[in-house]
Amino acid sequence: MRITGIEAVPIHVPYHRPIPIAIGTNKHANNVLVKLNTDEGVMGVGEVSPLIPSYSGETQETAVSVISECLAPAILGGNIFSLEELMQRVEHAIVGHLCAKAGISIALHDAVGKALGVSVYQLLGGLYRERIPVCFTVSWSDGAIEEALSHVRAGFRSIKVKIGKGLREDVESLHHLREALGQDMPIIADANQAYSSPIATKLVKEIEDLVQAVEQPVLRWDIEGLASVRRQSRVPIIADESATTPQDALAIASRGAADMFLLKVMRSGGFKRAKDIVAIGQAAGMPSFACSMTELGIGTAANIHFAASTPALIDTFGCSFDGPLQIFGGASTVDLRDDIVVKTPVLKDGAFEVPSGPGLCVELNEANIEKYRNGEPVNISVT
């Protein structure tokens, strides 16, 4: 079965409320819907969700350009069942641009699953989890504590809180959050590269009785600084922005710079690279914690299939697949009716149910896609 065309559709979905983090503010999901067509009528769908440029180094515009000029031409005419070969072509087509590559990876796997009549998780190793408990993220602002409490009441497994406003303000905020949530609810403090190594070390020492882990306290390139913080910390340190590629993961593991990896299929360049990072962590005795970016229904389904098939993901916190919840608000499937898919992954009692069916098990909501479309689609096909 050959690839005959790839379409990139830019979509713009406003957040119901802006989400500030230390390196920028998320106001919109400026994503790209990928449609991969074949000569036998099977269509695979993928999604590119690059977050903000200061995080991923990509934008909607760069993703559309890279897909149309580099990635699509590299795989047009290829056999969809040759997944390894096709993703090698994608890797060699251009350096970087991992979110754009992830969109192609997701679409390819969806097409293969549909063609074979199996779920994507079966292509990735089989079903290990039937439900994916969700860690919900809050940004510190007025109402953050009540928001966290409402999601705890809705059954969410843990809370991640965005910090990075300053040492004293972060410590005070985390004291208030811990007091409100009690001692049993896991809290992850995510600094998003906000601090230097010395200040991060002070912060970690002051909050070690308040949180269960600290995520990316220093700049992404400061592996030695990350290692220094970890050596002086009594709570686990999570590498996020520092662990983008398998090569990054190997460097972190070899230097003892973190206790676990934060894994994102989108940020890693697709399913294979994400699995590679997990494998490096396993070899080093480091678990991985899975997270999302600004994925809508397609990317969220991809995350669910990945987590369902990956035993080494840590279960303590669940998975931070709250992208659609951050964008649309709410805490259950009924709150996601404005998504770009009709068959939304089911979210109930703080967990996603792993869907069963061909491919990603989602159906496009063409009316919503047209509503959110942000410019003309770009279609690259076999001539």
Contact in structure between 325 and 335 (CB atoms under 8 Å) = yes
Q: What is the rounded CA–CA span in Å between residue 66 and residue 139?
A: 32
Buried b / exposed e over 62-84, threshold 16 CB at 10 Å, is bbbebbbebbbebbbebebeebe
At 383, the pLDDT band (50, 70, 90 cuts) reads: low
Contact in structure between 266 and 102 (CB atoms under 8 Å) = yes
Please tell me the predicted confidence (pLDDT) of residue 22.
Answer: 67
Q: Are strands 158-162 and 187-190 parallel, antiparallel or unpaired?
A: parallel
Torsion of CA 91, 96, 97, 103, to 10 degrees: 30
% of residues, the chain, pLDDT over 90 = 74
Task: Detail the DSSP E strand segments found in 184-235.
Answer: 187-190, 213-215
Sign of CA dihedral 24, 194, 227, 286: negative
Please tell me the predicted confidence (pLDDT) of residue 274.
Answer: 96
Please tell me the predicted confidence (pLDDT) of residue 315.
Answer: 85
Q: What is the rounded CA–CA span in Å between residue 230 and residue 195?
A: 14
**Mean local confidence (pLDDT), 367-382:** 91
SS3 79: strand
pLDDT at 127 over 70: yes
Please tell me the predicted confidence (pLDDT) of residue 303.
Answer: 96
pLDDT at 335 over 90: no
Please tell me the predicted confidence (pLDDT) of residue 336.
Answer: 76
pLDDT at 148 over 90: no
How far does CA 188 lie from the centroid of its chain? 16
Buried b / exposed e over 19-41, threshold 16 CB at 10 Å, is bbbbbeebebbbbbbbbbbbeee
Range of weakest confidence among 12-21, 127-136, 145-154: 12-21
* Angle at 186 (CA atoms; ends 185, 192), nearest 5 degrees: 140
**Mean local confidence (pLDDT), 62-84:** 96
Task: Give the CATH number of domain 3-118+363-381.
Answer: 3.30.390.10
pLDDT at 154 over 70: yes
At 168, the pLDDT band (50, 70, 90 cuts) reads: very high
Please tell me the predicted confidence (pLDDT) of residue 142.
Answer: 65
Mean pLDDT, the chain, whole residue set: 92
Q: What is the pLDDT of residues 86-126, one digit of tens each?
A: 999 999 999 999 999 999 999 999 999 999 999 999 999 99
State which fold the 123-353 domain adopts: TIM Barrel (3.20.20)
| Structure-token match 């510190």, residue found | 140
Range of weakest confidence among 160-164, 194-198, 323-327: 323-327
Q: Where are the domains of the chain?
A: 3-118+363-381, 123-353
* Angle at 18 (CA atoms; ends 12, 23), nearest 5 degrees: 100
Please tell me the predicted confidence (pLDDT) of residue 180.
Answer: 92
Q: What is the rounded CA–CA span in Å between residue 7 and residue 43?
A: 11
Domains 3-118+363-381 and 123-353 share a fold: no
**Mean local confidence (pLDDT), 188-207:** 94
At 366, the pLDDT band (50, 70, 90 cuts) reads: very high
Q: What are phi and psi of 341, to 5 degrees?
A: -120, 145
Contact in structure between 336 and 324 (CB atoms under 8 Å) = yes
Q: What is the rounded CA–CA span in Å between residue 326 and residue 14?
A: 10
Q: What is the rounded CA–CA span in Å between residue 178 and residue 216?
A: 20
pLDDT at 18 over 80: no
At 55, the pLDDT band (50, 70, 90 cuts) reads: confident
**How is residue 131 written in tokens?**
């439900």
- Looking at residue 313, the DSSP 8-state letter turns out to be B
For the beta carbon of residue 273, count every other beta carbon within 10 angstroms.
Answer: 23
Closest CA to 8 of 56, 57, 59, 45: 45
Q: What is the rounded CA–CA span in Å between residue 168 and residue 160?
A: 19
Which residues are within 8 A (CB) of 360 and not within 5 positions of it... i.e. 6 or more apart? 45, 106, 109, 110, 113, 120, 298, 301, 302, 305
Please tell me the predicted confidence (pLDDT) of residue 122.
Answer: 97
Contact in structure between 363 and 169 (CB atoms under 8 Å) = no
Closest CA to 339 of 291, 379, 294, 377: 294
**How is residue 292 written in tokens?**
């999302």
pLDDT at 52 over 90: no
Which residues are within 8 A (CB) of 50 and not within 5 positions of it... i.e. 6 or more apart? 30, 31, 56, 58, 59, 60, 62, 63, 99, 100, 266, 293, 294
- Looking at residue 336, the DSSP 8-state letter turns out to be G
- Measure CA of the first residue to CA of the last residue in the chain; give whole Å: 17
